[in-house]
Structure 1
Amino acid sequence: MTVTHPIGLSAPTLADPVIAEAAARFVAARRGATGLAGFPGPLPADLATAYAIQATATASWPDEVAGWKVARVPPALEEALGAIRFIGPVFAGTVVLSGGGPLSFPVIAGGFGAVEAEFAVRIAADAPADKLDYSPAEAAAFIDAVHAAIEVAGGPLAPVNDLGPTASTAVFGNNTGLIVGEEIVGAVEGADVLRAEVLIDGQSVGVGSAAKLPGGIPAAVAVALGMAARLGRPLKAGQWVSTGALTGVHSIAIGQEARICFTGLAPMTGTAVAAAPAG
């Protein structure tokens, strides 16, 4: 497996064979829908190394990238990691357009699964491959529409949340899929006034809004635009950016039901199911 090195980041602190082995283990575990009890090899100490593992695994995955999820680096780690957000790939085969019916949230048995209420941005135009940094104002020009959404988080690595953001970044960004709900009237301004709530098995587990996103939706899109270009996959028109958890990361086990509600919109409801091996 050839290691992919992101553009404009510091050199990874793990050797290429170690990076390749971790990426191969993640690809095999996701394809086989089998859990991993621990990180396969040394845990990356920095995001540059974690992104190298992610990019190497993504290059070996048999599906196209349809967008990116954006997640928060815990504030206590922002200075050490030099970032407040990280991103991960959303593959085309995992994007679902919610039509109001019951949904399924795939969870790898022995791995980690979660649901998150998010806003998903549809990208308006192809981003230049050579632009690696964006301001929120520049990113706002790439926002074509904003939708209510659910990120189906998780993957094969069972202790991913305990291991922290470098582990989440490395293991495909800790993303399993994206469910795109209703388009929000007023785009960013309309989304900013909405309230989201997540219920699991009928119990409320989190309430929040765009106020939970540092700098708001455009700031999250700015990170996705810049990092996607650094990973050699600049965003394209029609792709998606899931902009971050509004109410928290809510673990879900196979068989549990989740209901995600946004102010004035039809709720999205589904059940966690065992993920099937990928073809």
Structure 2
Amino acid sequence: MSVTHPVGLSAPTLADPVIAEIAARFVAARRGATGLADFPGPLPADLATAYAIQATATAAWPDEVVGWKVARVPPALEETLGAMRYIGPIFAGTVVTADGGPLSFPVIPGGFGAVEAEFAVRIAADAPADKLDYSPAEAAAFIAAIHAVIEVAGGPLAPVNELGPTASTAVFGNNTGLIVGEEIVGAVEGADALRAEVLIDGQSVGVGSSAKLPGGIPAALAVALGMAARLGRPLKAGQLVSTGALTGVHSIAIGQQARIAFTGLAPMGGSAVAATPTA
């Protein structure tokens, strides 16, 4: 497996053969829908190494990248890691449009699963491949529409949350898929006026809004635009960027029910199901 090195980041602190082996283990576990009890190698100490693992695994995955998820680095680790957010790929085969019916949230047995209420930006135009940094104002120009979405988070690595953001970044950004709900009238301003609530098995586990996103939706999008270019996959018109959890990361186990409601919109709900192997 050939190792992919992101542009404009520091050199990885793990050797290429180690990066390749970790990436191969993540690809095999996700394809086989098999959980991992431990990180399959040395835990990356920095995001540059984590992104090298992610990029290498993404290049080996048999599906097209059609968007990115954005997630927070815990504030206590921002200075150490030199970042407030990280991103992960969203693959075409994992994007579902909510149609009002019951949804399925795939969870790898022995892995980790979660649901998150988020807002996703649909990208208006192709981003230049050579622009690696964006201000929120520059990013806002790429917003064609905003949708209420559910990020189905998780993957094969069971202790991913305990291991922290470098583990999450490395293991496909800790993303399983994206469920796309209604378009928000008024784009950013409309989204900022909404509140989201997540219920697991009928119990409210979190309420929040875009106020939970430092700098708002454009700031999260700015990170995705720049980092996607650094990863050699600049954003394209029509792609989606899920901009971060509004109410928190809510673990869900196979068989549990989740309901995600946004102010004034039809709620989205369904069941966590066992993920199946990928051909």
Which TM-score tier does this pair reach, normalised by the shorter chain? over 0.9
Counterpart residue identity of residue 41, structure 2: G
Cα offsets for 1:150-198 (capped at 9, x unmatched) = 0000000000000000000000000000000000000000000100000
| Structure 2 alignment gaps of length 5 or more | none
- Cα distance between partner residues in 2 of 1:29 and 1:112: 12
Scaled by the length of structure 1, the TM-score of the pair is 1.00
Q: Which residue of 1 aligns with 2:115?
A: 115
Q: Which residue of 2 aligns with 1:243?
A: 243
Counterpart residue identity of residue 242, structure 1: S
Q: Which residue of 2 aligns with 1:234?
A: 234
Q: Which residue of 2 aligns with 1:216?
A: 216
Task: Give 1:84 shift.
Answer: 0.2
Q: Which residue of 2 aligns with 1:57?
A: 57
Q: Which residue of 2 aligns with 1:43?
A: 43
Cα offsets for 1:8-61 (capped at 9, x unmatched) = 000000000000000000000000000000000000000000000000000000
Counterpart residue identity of residue 116, structure 1: E
Report the secondary structure of 2:199's partner residue.
strand
Report the secondary structure of 1:43's partner residue.
coil
| Structure 1 alignment gaps of length 5 or more | none
- Cα distance between partner residues in 1 of 2:54 and 2:254: 26
Q: 1:54-133 counterparts in 2 under 5 A?
A: 54-133=54-133
Q: Which residue of 2 aligns with 1:176?
A: 176
Q: Alignment identity in percent? A: 90
Q: Which runs of 4+ in 1 moved over 6 A?
A: none
| 2:22 is aligned with 1:12 | no
Q: Which residue of 2 aligns with 1:198?
A: 198
The alignment's C-alpha RMSD in Å is 0.2
Task: Give 1:260 shift.
Answer: 0.1
- Cα distance between partner residues in 2 of 1:268 and 1:146: 16
Task: Give 1:93 shift.
Answer: 0.3
- Cα distance between partner residues in 2 of 1:277 and 1:257: 22
Task: Give 1:200 shift.
Answer: 0.2
- Cα distance between partner residues in 2 of 1:253 and 1:43: 25
Q: Give aligned pairs, total.
A: 279
Cα offsets for 1:233-267 (capped at 9, x unmatched) = 00000000000000000000000000000000000
- Cα distance between partner residues in 2 of 1:270 and 1:7: 40
Report the secondary structure of 1:116's partner residue.
strand
Counterpart residue identity of residue 159, structure 2: P
Task: Give 1:73 shift.
Answer: 0.1
Q: Which residue of 2 aligns with 1:164?
A: 164
